Structure 1
Amino acid sequence: MIERSPLGRPLAHLLLIVGILIVAFPIYYTFTASTQTIQTILRPPLPLTPGSEFANNYGEALFGGIGRIGGVGVGTLLFNTTVMALGVACGKIAISILSAFAIVFFRFPLRMVFFWLIFITLMLPVEVRILPTYKVMVDLGLIDTYAGLILPLIASATATLLFRQFFMTIPGELVEAARIDAAGPMRFFRDILLPLSKTNIAALFVILFIYGWTQYLWPLLVTNNNQMNTIVIALKKMVSFADADTPWHLVMVTAILAIVPPVLVVVLMQRWFVRGLVETEK
Structure 2
Amino acid sequence: MAGALVKERGAAADPALRASRARQRRDRWMTHGILLLGVIIFALPIWITLVGSTHDVNTIGRGEVPLWFGGHAVENYVAAWSRGGEAVRNTRAVPAGIMLWNSLVMATLIATGKIIISLLSAYAVVFFSFPGRMAFFWMIFITLMLPVEVRIIPTFQVMVDLHLTDTMAGLVIPVVASATATLLFRQFFLTIPDEYAEAAKIDGAGPLRFFWDVVLPLSRTNIAALFVILFIYGWNQYLWPLLIITDTGLETIVVGLSKMIGRGDAQNEWNAIMATAILALLPPVAVVVLMQRWFVKGLTETEK
TM-score of Structure 1 vs Structure 2, range by shorter chain: over 0.9
Distance 1:18 1:2, change over 3 A: farther
Deviation, structure 1 residue 127: 0.9
1:150 corresponds to 2:150: no
- Measure the CA separation in 1 of the matches of 2:170 and 2:303: 39
Find the partner of 1:42 among 61, 71, 84. Answer: 61
Code of the aligned partner of 1:122: L
1:245 lines up with 2:264 in the alignment: no
- Cα RMSD for the two superposed structures: 1.7
- In the alignment, what sits opposite 2:145? 123
Percent of counterpart pairs with the same letter?
Answer: 59
Name the CA shift for 1:89/1:4 in 2 (closer, same or farther; >3 Å).
farther
1:24 aligns with 2:46: no
Aligned residues: 282
Partner Cα separation in structure 2 for residue 261 and residue 124 of structure 1? 29
Give the alignment partner of residue 78 of structure 1, picking from 91, 100, 103. Answer: 100
Report the Cα distance in structure 1 between the residues aligned to 2:58 and 2:263, rounded to whole angstroms. Answer: 17
Q: CA deviation at 1:5?
A: 1.0
Query: What is the one-letter code of the residue matched to 1:63?
Result: S
Instruction: Kindly state the Cα deviation for residue 4 of structure 1 after the two structures are TM-superposed.
Output: 6.8
| Closer/same/farther in 2, CA of residues 81 and 89 from structure 1, 3 Å limit | same
Q: Mind listing any 5+ residue stretches in structure 1 that lack a counterpart?
A: none
Distance across 2 between alignment mates of 1:54 and 1:264? 21
Matches within 5 A, 1:121-200: 121-200=143-222
Q: TM-score, normalised by structure 2?
A: 0.89
**Cα deviations across residues 158-201 of structure 1 (Å, max 9, x unaligned)?**
11011011101110111111111111111111111111111111
Secondary structure, counterpart of 1:117 in structure 2: helix
1:207-253 per-position Cα deviation (integer Å, ceiling 9, x unaligned): 11110000111000000111111111111111113465211111101
TM-score normalised by length of structure 1: 0.96
CA deviation profile, 1:95-117 (whole Å, cap 9, x unmatched): 00000001111111111111111
Counterpart position of 1:107: 129
Structure 1 consecutive aligned stretches of length 4 or more whose deviation exceeds 6 Å: 1-4
Q: Deviations over 1:134-158 (max 9, x none)?
A: 0111111111111000000011111
| Separation in 2, partners of 1:120, 1:65 | 42
Alignment of 1:251-266 (within 5 A): 251-266=273-288
Equivalent pair of 2:85/2:273 in contact (CA under 8 Å) = no
